[in-house]
Structure 1
Amino acid sequence: MRKRTTPKDAKLIEEAEDLEYLVEDKRAVWRADGARARRRQRRYKNLLTRQLVSQGPDIEGDVLS
């Protein structure tokens, strides 16, 4: 089983598609229903997005428009 998603994983994200790859339900077989799995995925995506915003741009000249 893969490890849980943590805020430290934000450094692995370079494009939006990386977020979808990185955040996956590692305990899908244990979930009671799909709604809980979707809710958890949404929380992890929001957590990583907040972490990326707080880090700011990595490379000089890389600005958010």
Structure 2
Amino acid sequence: MEIVLKIDQRKKEAKALIEYLKNLPFVEIENMSNKKRYNTQTEKAIDDARVGKTYATSLEELRKQLYS
């Protein structure tokens, strides 16, 4: 069974806890700030939208694309 903890690393107590947990043989720590939240295609779409690489479309055109 796995348990996921989210720890705010800005506090010294949190840093101490993380260091303690790193030394336990049955604990695996994964830094989530480096991990992408979405798949590659979605990440690219988000990045494109941020820099303005988008185009306007009508609701009718969107429905055609989704349902065809």
TM over 0.5: no
Greater gyration radius:
2
Q: Which has the higher helix share?
A: 1
Normalising by structure 2, we get a TM-score of 0.27
Structure possessing the higher relative contact order (Cα contacts under 8 Å, 6 or more residues apart): 1
**TM value normalised by structure 1:** 0.28
